[in-house]
Amino acid sequence: MTGTTLDDYTDRYARRVRGMTASEIRALFAVASRPEVVSLAGGAPYIAALPLDAVGEMLGRLGSEHGATTLQYGIGQGTLELRERICEVMALSGIDAACGASPEDVVVTVGGQQALDLVARLFLDPGDVVLAEGPTYVGALGVFQAAQAQVVHVPMDEDGLIPEALETAIAEQARSGRRVKFLYTIPTYQNPTGVTLTEERRERVLDICERAGLLVVEDDPYGQLGFSGDAPAPLRARRRDGVFYLSTFSKTFAPGLRVGWILAPHAVRDKLVIASEAQILCPSGYAQAAVSTYLATMPWRQQLKVYREVYRERRDAMLDALADLMPEGTTWTVPAGGLFVWATLPDGLDSKAMMPRAIAARVAYVPGTGFYADGTGNDYMRLNFSFPPPERIREGVRRLAGVMEQDIAMRRVFGAVGRPGGRRGRAGSDTPGPDLA
C-alpha cells in the first residue's frame, strides 16, 4: 500500500521546494501576538516611539497631493531621490563618496529580505556553499536553502566571527572540492546573538576573504542602533571591491513600508536591477516616497537617538531581570546595540522542547534551533527586548525562569533525557561552542 499525502501537488513541485522549511519565528507569531502572552520572540521595532501624528499627515499628503506619481509604476532600481537619501544615511556610518558609495550603485529593494534574495539569485547555484556565522539570521537561512545552497557555519565568540575558524572553514571546503561563493555576515549587533565584530577582526576577516577570492555580503540592519558610542565602521566602509552592503529602513523607520537597499559593486548593479524587475517589476513608489519624504522633512537623526534610548532602557531591563531571576547555569550576551540577547541554557535543557510549556506559561521566545542550518542549537534561545515595555520584559523573564526551573526540577526527579546530537555550539562539532556570555 502506498503512502498518502494531504498535498495533491507533491509530485509536481520543483526540486528546490524540498529544501524549503517554515520559519520558526513566523510560526510563533500567531501565538506570540495574543495579549496575554509576553512575547520576547519577535524582532519588531517600537513603532510607537515615532511621531505617528506627523507621519500620518505626511503619508496622507503623499496620496492626496502627489498620488499621480507616488501611486504609479516606477523604475526597477528605485527613485533617484531615495537613492540619494540612502547615501546620506550610509554616510553616517562612514560609507560615503570617499569609499565609492554612489546613488548609481544603490538598488532599492522590498526590505532587506529581497536584497538577500537578489544576491542569492545572482550568485548561488544548487550545491554551492555559503559561509555564515553560527548562529545566523533565520531569514537568510531560508533564502539560501531556497536557492539549494548549503550553509556552513563559522563559530563566533563574544568578539564576533572567529577569523581562524573562517580560515579553517575555507580550507576545509577547498579540500572537499566544494565551491564557496560568499561569506554572509551581520558584523554589528548581530542577529541573533547581539555581539559585534571587533575592529581588529574586521580587518582580518576582510583580508582572509580577499586572499581566498571570497565575496562578502554584509547585512547591517542594526548598525545605527548602538547604545554607547559609535559602532565600528562597516566592512563596506573599509573595502569597496567584493563587498555587498545590505540594509533596511525596517528597524530605523517603519517595517510595514518594506524598503531596503543594496550597495553593490558597479559591475553587478545592472544585473541586480534586472533580477529585481523579474521579481517585482519595480519597488513601491508610494513606500519610496514615504521614506524619502521622512528623511527630507522630519528630524530622523533625532529619532534615531530616541530609538537608542528606548532600546537601551529595555536592554537594561532585560539584563537586570536575567541576572535576578534566571536559574544557575544560564548565561547570556550583553549587546552594545540592536534588539536581541542570546541566552545559553543550563546543561540538559532544550529550548525547542521547552517551548510548549513556555507558551502555556504565557511567554514566548525563539529556540536556538531556528538559527542553525542543521537544526542544532537546542541549548540556546533568542530573547527580544525592543518591543515590550520594561515591566513586561521583567514579567516575561519571570515566567520563562519559572518554566526553566520546572524543567530542571523534572530532570532531578526523572533523570536526564538525551537530545539528538547532544549539545552543539560550534557548527560541525559535538562539543560546546565558545561561551558568548
**Is there a domain that residue 353 lies in?**
yes
Same domain, 74 and 158: yes
Return the DSSP state at 426: S
Which of 297, 319, 335 is the endpoint of a domain? 297
Smallest CA-to-CA distance from 28 within 40, 12, 18, 46 is with: 40
Same domain, 190 and 124: yes
In a domain, 9, yes or no: no
In a domain, 430, yes or no: no
273 assigned to some structural domain: yes
Tell whether 435 is covered by a domain: no
Is pLDDT of 107 > 90? yes
Identify the CATH number of the domain in which residue 400 sits: 3.90.1150.10
- Do 406 and 286 reside in the same domain of the chain? no
Boundary (domain end) residue, out of 273, 297, 321: 297
Distances (CA, A) of 185 to 92, 246, 305, 369, 429: 20, 10, 25, 18, 21
Instruction: Identify whether residues 327 and 384 lie together within a single domain.
Output: yes
Compute the CA torsion angle 152, 178, 124, 222 (nearest 10 deg).
30
Same domain, 359 and 322: yes
pLDDT over threshold 80, residue 53: yes
Tell me the residue range of the domain where 226 lies: 52-297
- Say what the pLDDT of residue 12 is: 81
Domain boundary (256, 274, 297) is at 297
Q: How many domains are contained in the chain? A: 2
Residue 225 lies in a domain: yes
Residue 423 within any structural domain of the chain:
no
Same domain, 234 and 326: no
Same-domain status, 261 and 309: no
> Does 67 share its domain with 209?
yes
Per-residue cell: 268: 553587478
* Sign (positive or negative) of CA dihedral 321, 322, 326, 328: negative
Q: Are residues 99 and 166 in the same domain?
A: yes
In this predicted model, what pLDDT tens digit does every residue of 162-208 receive, in sequence order? Answer: 999 999 999 999 999 998 999 999 999 999 999 999 999 999 999 99
Task: Check whether 141 has a pLDDT greater than 90.
Answer: yes
Residues 34 and 166 in one domain: no
One domain for residues 76 and 189:
yes
Q: What is the pLDDT of residues 316-366, one digit of tens each?
A: 999 999 999 999 999 999 999 999 999 999 999 999 999 999 999 999 999
Same structural domain, 212 and 230: yes
3 domain-assigned: no
Per-residue pLDDT tens digits for 236-252: 999 999 999 999 999 99
